[in-house]
Amino acid sequence: MLGFAADRLFADPRRFHPVAGFGQLAAATESLTYRDQRPAGAVHAAALIAGAAGAGLLIGRAGVLGTAAATWTVLGGTSLVRTGTRMADHLDAGDLEGARALLPSLCGRDPASLDADGLARAALESIAENTSDATVAPLFWGGVAGVPGLLGYRAVNTLDAMIGYRNERYLRFGWAAARIDDLANLVPARAAGLLTAAAAPTVGGRPGDAIRAWRRDAKAHPSPNAGVAEASMAGALGVQLGGRTEYPHGVENRPVLGAGPAPTTADLRRAVRISAAVQAGAAISSAVLAVAVGQLRRDLRLSRLRGSRG
């Protein structure tokens, strides 16, 4: 909870961000490990993830302050909310160039090809997905596995963002990183969907609409996890997401998620409010989860101790 509060107060560090440092290490390691083969990519991912989790074991020994610092390091929720608000401000002011310049900090789409509606939709979809990836998932794994879970998950997610692409270079080398990220986000993405549905009334939406959109549309999305986050957000807002999506590497026709009009800048601001509510709910839930996991571990230790004495 202290780490979550630090993220709320200070957002991401502007300089010397540990996640950026991990990314630089991963890039340097890739220059040594790269082969156009799945096994090489699996070894690359496993070594870096294990290293991050191992660092988490050491940091966890620092107690509350170590846990708080690690939590602050891996969270990106406040920066996400602020960036979404800035995007809405640019669009409301008619500043398309400013909005296009800001979009790469949210997602990897081609901003030059997008008009105001396209920018609003791209930002909204990114906020939905990254609310799960940047807050709910790291908090979930922190609740389950402490600081090793926090840092290990952030390593997984960073590697997926770096090499988890289906292009010529990474189709095989990045396969393991992408699959590990899919597995790591299976539970958190669905927790994010439930929290999004619960937060829908804060922006005039209905939880039932979010759940229906999730159940009806998420399975058509190419990602087993992003589809849940985006479909539940679309249902909570009463808008339609998906459709033609342009990336630097080409055009994808994404499935339609939700039912209603295309999102506007006002809907983007509503999505930001839902994101903030989901993040708060995830922080409280992860704290409860951490207490429950800790109690379970204590009970198991006592049970083994009694068994050995008996």
Q: How many CB atoms lie within 10 A of CB 238?
A: 21
Host domain of residue 275: 2-309
Per-residue pLDDT at 246:
65
Helix (H) or strand (E) holding 64: helix 64-74
* Cβ atoms of 243 and 203 closer than 8 Å: no
Per-residue pLDDT at 248:
59
Nearest of 210, 60, 189, 52 to residue 134 by alpha carbon:
189
Is this structure's pTM higher than 0.85?
Answer: yes
What is the residue-level pLDDT of the chain in tens, covering all 310 positions? Answer: 999 999 999 988 777 789 999 999 999 999 999 999 999 999 999 999 999 999 999 999 999 999 999 999 999 999 999 999 999 999 999 999 999 999 998 987 888 888 898 899 999 999 999 999 999 999 999 999 999 999 999 999 999 999 998 889 999 999 999 999 999 999 999 999 999 999 999 999 999 999 999 999 999 998 999 999 999 999 999 999 988 776 655 567 788 999 999 999 999 999 999 999 999 999 999 999 999 999 999 999 888 888 777 6
Helix, coil or strand: residue 238: coil
Domain total in the chain: 1
Per-residue pLDDT at 310:
62
The three-state DSSP-derived secondary structure of 138-157 is HHHHHHHHHHHHHHHHHHHH
